[in-house]
Amino acid sequence: MSRQPSDLRPPDPGRPRMPGAPPHDPPGRGDQSRRWLFIALAGLAIAVLFLPSLFSNKTTTSISYTSFLATLKNKQVATATVNNTNGVVTGKLKSGASYTVDGPDPSTSAETDAMLAAGVQVSYTTPSSSLLATLLPEVLIILLLVGAFIWLNRRLQGQMSGIMSIGRSKAKTYSTERPHTTFADVAGYPGVKQEISEVVDFLKQPGRFRDIGARIPKGILLVGPPGTGKTLLARAVAGEAGVPFMSVSGSDFMEMFVGVGASRVRDMFQVARKQAPAIIFVDEVDSIGRKRGAGLGGGHDEREQTLNQMLSEMDGFDATEGIVMMAATNRPDILDPALLRPGRFDRQIVVPLPDLEERLPIIQVHCKDKRVAQDVDLSILARGTPGMSGADLANLVNEAALHAVRRGSAQIETRDFEAARDRVLMGQRRESLVLSDEEKERVAYHEAGHAVLACTLPNADPVHKVTILPTGMALGVTQQLPIEERHIYPRGHIEDSLAVRMGGRAAEMIIYGDLSTGASNDLVGNTELARKMVREWGMSNQIGPMAWGSQGMVFLGEDLLHSRDYSESTSRVIDEEVERILREQEERAMKLLTDNKAGLVALATALLKKETIDGSEVIHLVNTAKEAGVTAQPEQPTRELPTQPTNPNGSPDPTITIAVRDTQ
C-alpha cells in the first residue's frame, strides 16, 4: 500500500465514517452532478422548441397564392381553413392532396367570396398560443441570469474562503493505514535509528516508559550535512509510527501578511492535540527558527512572531501532552537558543556523512532495483567514495546506470561505476576542447609532479588515476583515494598534502625553469590549509596553543562590526608562519622531484602517449625509473604557453586530497 498525504483538517463531524465504510465523495462530484442537470434541462428546452417542427406533416404541399387562385377558379379546391392570426390558408384539394398557402393578412372579402362561389367549404380558426412556447424564451433568459449570478457568487466565496483560510496550517497528515517508508529502507545509521525508534515505541506503548518514570523528549532535532537522509528518516518514522504524522516545511509558515505564520502554528498544534498522540515534523526549521534580533536592522518581525508562537506551543503556559516535535536542519548554529533548550528540542541527533561501513549498505540499497553485473565489487566502490552523502551515492549509482545505457549495455559494469565516479568528482569530459602539443606537454609534467609526490611521500593518499584529458573545468586531474577512513589528521599527513599540491608548480620549475598559471588554485588551497594550521589547529611554534575560528555569517548580524580577536603584531606573525610553512613544503617538493626526475619524465612521457594512467602503473613507472637511475632530459618547448590554474578537489575536511584538479 502506498502512503498519500491527506488534508490536515479533521473530518466533518456531521458526516461520521464508520470503519469499513466507503470514503466520502471526493470534492467536485456535486458540481459535476449539477453540471449534468443543467445540460439535461437545456436539452429539454431545445426539444420543446424544435421537435414539433420536426414531426410536422411532410405531405402538405406549399403553393403560391396565384396558383391557389387558379386552382380555386377551376373549382379544384375542396376545403379551406383560414388562419385569422397570420392569413395562412390550409385545406385539401378535390384530388385529396393537402395544401397550404400564405394568403393576405388579414384575409379580404373578395377572397372569401371567390371560395364560396367555387363551392369550397370555408372555415376560420384562431389558434391559441402555447403557454410553454410563450414563456420559454423568458424562462431561458431568467435561468441564464440566475446561473451567472450563482457562478459569480461562488467565485467570490472561493476567493473570500481562500483569504479567510490563509491562517490555517498547510501541514499534511499521514495515517497508519498507508505506510510507505520504514526503517528497513534506511541503510546504515543504527544509532540514529535507535534514538528515533524510542519515540515511536513511546507513542505506541507509552505504558512501558511511564511505569519506570521515563519522559519522552518533546522535541528531536535532526542535524547533519545536506543529503544525509534527515527527511528520509522522518518519512521512516511516519511509516513506523502507529499515530498520525504531520509534515510541514518551515517556509510554509511565511506569507506576505503579518501574523499568518503564528496563526498557522496555532492551527497546526490545535489539530495535533485533537489527534494526540501525534508527531509533527518541520523540515528546514532554520527558515523560521533563526536567532531573534540578529538580522540587519533588528531582525524579521514576521519570522520572530512565528518563532515565538512555536516556542509557546512547544513548552509554554499550556502543557502539550502526547505531541512529539521533530525537525531537520543543516544549520544548527543559527538556531535560536530558546528553541534548543531542554523542554523544547530536548535531543539533538547528528546525522553525519556515512563512513565506510555505512556507505556499503547505502550503495546496496540504491543498487537493489538495478541490473548490476556479477563482477562488480560494491565494497571497492564504497571505499573509493569518502565524504559522499547518501544523496551523492544515489546520484553516483544513477550516473552509472545512465552510462551503461549510453554504452548500449544490458547491465551496469565496473567501468560504468568508474566513469560515474569520475563524472561526479571531476565533471564531464570535454570532447570539444583540444589542446596543442605544447599545452599537453606542460599539463602532463604538471600532473606528473603531483603523482610522483603522492607516490613518494609516506603519509600521502595513494594515487588512483592520472589523466591529462580535459574533464569538467579541468585540463588534467590527479585523483587520490584514501586507504581507510580518517577522523583525526596528524601534522605529517597535512604537510604531505601541502607538498603534493606543490608538485605541479615544482615540476614546471624543474623542467621548464619558469612558472605558469597552472598552480593558481593549488596555491589557493594550500594557503587556506596552512592558515588553518596556524590559526585554528595550533600547529605553529611561533603562535603556540592558540586558536581563532573563522568569522561568522554577516547575515546573522553578529560579526558585522566584530573586530579581530588578535592584534596587528599577531596578524603579522600568522602571515609569516603561513609563508614559512608554504615555502618549506615547496622546497621539499622541489628536492623530492629533483631526486625522482627520472620518474617524473617517465610518467609525463607515458601520459602524453596514453593520456590516462591508473595508480598501479604510476607506481610501477616511478619505481622502475628510480631503480634504473637514468634521468631523461626532456626537449625544451620552443615557446612558453601557460596552462590553466589548478583546482584542488577534496573531501569535507580540507586535509584530505581526493583529486588535484587543473581548472580553466
Strand, helix or coil for residue 158: helix
Q: Which of 447, 508, 577, 586 is catalytic?
A: 447
Q: Which residues, 6+ apart, have CB-to-CB distance to 226 below 8 Å?
A: 330, 389, 391
Question: What are the strands, taking DSSP E only, across 320-407?
Answer: 323-329, 347-350
Residue type, 280: I
Task: Provide the terminal-to-terminal Cα distance of the chain, rounded to the nearest Å.
Answer: 51
242 and 182 in contact (C-beta within 8 Å)?
no
- Phi, psi angle pair for 478, to nearest 5°: -115, 110
Q: Quick one: DSSP state of residue 16?
A: -
218 and 325 in contact (C-beta within 8 Å)?
yes
469 and 419 in contact (C-beta within 8 Å)?
no
446 and 429 in contact (C-beta within 8 Å)?
no
Q: Classify the C-alpha dihedral 306-308-313-318 as positive or negative.
A: negative
Rounded distance between C-alpha atoms, residue 535 and residue 538, angstroms: 6
Report the relative pairing of strands 98-102 and 88-92 from DSSP bridges.
Answer: antiparallel
266 and 313 in contact (C-beta within 8 Å)?
yes
CA distances from 293 to 334, 338, 341 (A): 12, 13, 18
Rounded distance between C-alpha atoms, residue 552 and residue 10, angstroms: 44
Q: Is 558 in the active site?
A: no
Biggest distance spanned by C-alpha atoms of the chain: 146
Enter the C-alpha cell of residue 597: 626526475
Active site residues per annotation: 447
